Amino acid sequence: VTYEEDMAAALSGFVVEARELLQEMETSLLQMECDDDPELVAALFRAAHTIKGSSGLFGLDHVVQFTHTVESALEQLRSGSIAVTPELVGALLPCRDHIAAMVDAVADGVVTATDATVATGGKLLERLAPLLAGAEPTCPDPAAGPAQTRSEELDADGGTRPLHLSVRFGPDCLRSGMDPLAFIRYLSTLGTIPALLTLDGALPEATQLDPEICYLGFQLVLITASPMDSVVGVFDFVREESDIRVLEAPDVAGFAELVRSYETDSGRVASFLIEHGAIDASTLAAALTDGGAVGEASPAGDPEHGPGAAVEHAPEPEAGSSATGPPSPQPALAAVPAQPRRPPSVQADGRAAEVHARESSESRSIRVEAPRLDRLIDVVGELVIAGAAVGLRANQAGNDALLEAISDVMRLVEEVRDSALQLRMVPIGTTFSRFQRVVRDVSAELGKDISLSVTGGETEVDKALVERIGDPLMHLVRNSMDHGIESAEVRLERGKPARGSLRLNAFHDSGSIVIEVQDDGGGISRDRVLAKAIERGLVDPGASLTDGEIYNLIFEPGFSTAETVSNLSGRGVGMDVVKRNVTTLRGTIDVESRPGLGSTVRIRLPLTLAIIDGFLVGVGGSAFVIPLDRVVECVALPQLSHARDCMDLRGEVLPFLRLRSVFSIPGDRPRRENVVVVDYAGVKTGLVVDTLMGEFQTVIKPLGQLFEHVQGIGGATILGDGEVALIIDVPVLVRHHADRQAGHDGSAGFAPGFPAAAMARVASAPGAELVAADPE
Amino acid sequence: MSPATAAADEAGVSVAVADELTIRTATEQKAGLLAALDSTTRLRLDLSGVAELDTAGLQVLLALVAEARSSGKAVELADPTPAVTEVIALAQLGEILAIRACDAEAVTDPTGKEGPG
């Protein structure tokens, strides 16, 4: 692996991480408006901060610079010097977007600022500036020099001030690719480093030296406007193994503890601190001899204390090395307070603990490249098929012991399959949370006040589905906001709260995931939809349709886009596209509406695209798989039903389809036929088949391009004996059959149907001959 | 591949440090440089080939200089690349790792290796 490849890999890791953090920022920003949880601001700050830190490591100076300013604003927010206002959130969101854009550019290989990014960034910051408290420290003041190191000159409004850093990395840091010098180089971008002391006291004799172990430590003065936290945060990556202390005068106890913590260099450190105004010699000497009794820290700095004057007061290396006083009072900001002496590897302050907690939660999840997972699922799928083949052989051989062994194996295979599929499952909440932003932006655009509530975000669904359902959902959400929810005046007139509400909900329902987009708007006007559909030739004027059927007409292609009644967002994409997307995912969509109260669009999707539990049936020489979650029951076909297309199922009329006719399978009907009762959209339909062959787990193989337009077939699978079985797409099959029915008798079929025109489309669709066989 | 090539002259040994002085090469470089120091009382390091210097490399230089000092020898750094000067400036080690500004000729002034104390 070359260095360049290493870098490219690291950079792509950065991009992935940054995008996640940006998502987090967005979520926090949006939540902040209605929730004053300080943790949100803290999370926001941390996210910005980490992005800045890792950008710095990759030398992405433009990202660092911009993010730094944003971070300073967030710091004001966190410290409470400014409050959360819609204006502030409104200014910060585009800043986040700008960072996202820069990160995207980095992903595309643009690692420096372009004129456009600089200009955009400048504008955004201009907009942000008036919302901040006092003089905003947009960048470290380069004029700040050593002369300013005394705390008396500290500008209380957040100007530059000297911080004293003690940086001791763990012995293994070099081996793990962390170069302390790189960190110091990075620190120098946060401000100026007027003084730095390289501590080589721990460096062994040359012959004993293992150059791969880090022996050096650094004591330095950093003059910066950056908040303490961001300075501390530079070391987030190495905190565990290192002893990093960031101190600010007058932290007498902290400085004393720092000096004490050195074995070999304490004298040099002490004189360095004194020389650079961190503490005066007598105070330090007192603190060191006094152990824990330094609580009443005098303001550091007798200003008259000349540099170097106190070197003789510097303690001996051993001084106080065994002293372990009670924890001393710390200034609130000192994020890495000194602790009773402990090995450098232990850092036990609140922030470190928190970082640690975060890291350990990260280590509970592993990032895996999607193709690897796909490969695993693929192989597991093949394993299921191969297992079925072995089972078949064993069955034929009639070897009971073998059969028993195989059933054990198959049980395990199923478990492996389930766990493998589980790996692909992600909560849908991450997709939902994107919509907070969408709703916010679109409501501002439309001048409506709309709130979004999300429920069922923990519902898990196949990642491939989650990715592909985003666009249809986006369309539905925009649509509901645009056309579903009325303007505030209308709402008040109708006695509804002025603030519209939109709800995204998800839940599992018998092998499917159901996603609902619900609004409390005006609902869909039944009559106008019907009128429009008749005008467009989608329905016969005389047709009698149920309300549900009428509402669902809005998903028909050709039902137009702009300036229609209803619910179309007028963006040039109709609801039919939404429906097509959902159907491609083997899902269904329908809409429910109550006039004046709002409407609900319900998307029902399979949990996974890769494997289904099926029910294997035979017709003539062909085998078909019916998704098991559609199967209600199986009954024998009554002899009397041969001439008809419906039968009596315990007093109900059960319409049925003969697969033999539907798929034009040659051969005569056997004497006994069976009916598999399937359920689609709450309506039962029978599928007449020759033989029932039982449950069958199956890996869905997509049909080749040639067959992709075939209606009623969702895919294919390979049986244990090597034969191909077609997987029946129940919704499509039933619906198209219903269309045909409707076409015959001019009335709605037994399932939601769309007569004449819809049927004509079916007949003209490529491959339609497969389903066009007359069932009569 | 030898990281350092040595050339003896009347004023001591001159070693050209080729390659980078980083964690990747430091162990190897250390052995080579110590061997070179062993062979002379005055070691001149030609750093013109050091494209990269990191903490590991810096430690080797510091240890070498310390070793020389403790055995009364001299180590002289010459012809640094910008990478080297940047690190020495950053670590503010200019006094310990003094660079000889003028090049080549052997000099008797030992300030180059004397630390502040």
Q: What is the pLDDT of residue A552?
A: 81
Contact between A18 and A105 under an 8 Å Cβ cutoff? The reply is no
Q: How far is B106 from chain A (nearest CA, A)?
A: 24
Please give the Cα distance from A269 to B90 (Å, whole number). Answer: 18
Element of type H or E holding A373: helix A370-397
Residue B112 has pLDDT above 60, yes or no: no
- Measured between CB atoms, does B55 come within 8 Å of chain A? yes
- Measured between CB atoms, does B64 come within 8 Å of chain A? yes
Output DSSP code: residue A648.
E
Residue of A nearest to B27 (CA): A211
CA torsion sign for A332, A338, A344, A346 is negative
- Measured between CB atoms, does B52 come within 8 Å of chain A? no
Contact between A71 and A132 under an 8 Å Cβ cutoff? The reply is no
Q: Which amino acid would we find at residue A456?
A: G
Cα–Cα–Cα angle for A718, A719, A720, nearest 5°?
125
For A238, other C-beta atoms within 10 Å of its C-beta total: 17
Contact between A204 and A215 under an 8 Å Cβ cutoff? The reply is yes
Indicate the average pLDDT of chain B: 76
Residue B62 has pLDDT above 70, yes or no: yes
Q: What ranges make up the beta strands (E) of A236-386?
A: 243-247
Best of A169, A172, A181 to disrupt the B interface (most B CBs within 10 Å) is A181
Q: Which of B46, B57, B59 is nearest to B22 (CA)?
A: B57
Residues of B in contact with A180 (CB under 8 A): 55
The answer to whether the peptide bond before residue A250 is cis (omega within 30 degrees of 0) is: yes
Please give the Cα distance from A287 to A297 (Å, whole number). Answer: 9
| B92:A211 CB<8 A | no
Residues of A in contact with B62 (CB under 8 A): 200, 203, 216
| A205:B63 CB<8 A | yes
Please give the Cα distance from A503 to A454 (Å, whole number). Answer: 6
Residue of B nearest to A3 (CA): B24
Residue B88 has pLDDT above 80, yes or no: yes
Neighbouring C-alpha atoms within 13 Å toward the C-beta of A111: 13
Contact between A347 and A369 under an 8 Å Cβ cutoff? The reply is no
Q: How far is A355 from chain B (nearest CA, A)?
A: 26
DSSP A611-632: EEEEEEEEETTEEEEEEGGGEE
ipTM: 0.79
Q: What is the pLDDT of residue A602?
A: 92
Tokens 């039902």 appear where? A559
Q: What is the pLDDT of residue A1?
A: 56
> In chain A, how long is the greatest CA-to-CA distance?
114
- Measured between CB atoms, does A179 come within 8 Å of chain B? yes
Contact between A345 and A396 under an 8 Å Cβ cutoff? The reply is no
Please give the Cα distance from A447 to A249 (Å, whole number). Answer: 51
- Secondary structure (3-state) at A176: coil
Output DSSP code: residue B112.
G
| A211:B87 CB<8 A | no
What lies within 8 Å, CB to CB, of A610 at 6+ separation is A377, A381, A421, A424, A462, A699, A700
Output DSSP code: residue A773.
S
Residue A72 tokens read as: 């300073």
Residues of A in contact with B27 (CB under 8 A): 210-212
Contact between A603 and A514 under an 8 Å Cβ cutoff? The reply is yes
For A367, other C-beta atoms within 10 Å of its C-beta total: 9
- Measured between CB atoms, does A465 come within 8 Å of chain B? no
Query: Which is more confidently placed, B48 or A755?
Result: B48
- Measured between CB atoms, does A205 come within 8 Å of chain B? yes
Q: How far is A217 from chain B (nearest CA, A)?
A: 10
- Measured between CB atoms, does B51 come within 8 Å of chain A? no
Residues of A in contact with B90 (CB under 8 A): 181, 184-185, 188, 196
| B91:A198 CB<8 A | yes
- Measured between CB atoms, does A186 come within 8 Å of chain B? no
Please give the Cα distance from A598 to A750 (Å, whole number). Answer: 27
- Measured between CB atoms, does A180 come within 8 Å of chain B? yes
Residues of A in contact with B117 (CB under 8 A): none
The answer to whether the peptide bond before residue A204 is cis (omega within 30 degrees of 0) is: no
| B63:A212 CB<8 A | no
**Backbone angle region of A343, left / alpha / beta, with phi > 0 → left and psi within -120 to 50 → alpha:** beta
- Measured between CB atoms, does B26 come within 8 Å of chain A? yes
Please write down the HEC assignment for all residues of A584-603: HCCCEEEEEEECCCEEEEEE
Contact between A249 and A164 under an 8 Å Cβ cutoff? The reply is yes
Q: What ranges make up the beta strands (E) of A659-746?
A: 674-680, 683-689, 691-699, 713-718, 724-728
Q: What is the pLDDT of residue A676?
A: 92
Mean pLDDT by 10 residues, chain A (776 residues): 70 85 86 79 86 82 86 83 84 90 86 83 85 54 37 46 86 81 84 85 84 87 82 76 82 83 81 82 77 41 38 38 39 38 39 47 66 81 80 84 88 83 82 84 84 88 82 85 84 87 86 86 81 78 79 74 41 67 80 86 78 84 86 84 75 86 84 86 83 79 70 78 83 75 44 33 33 32
For A410, other C-beta atoms within 10 Å of its C-beta total: 18
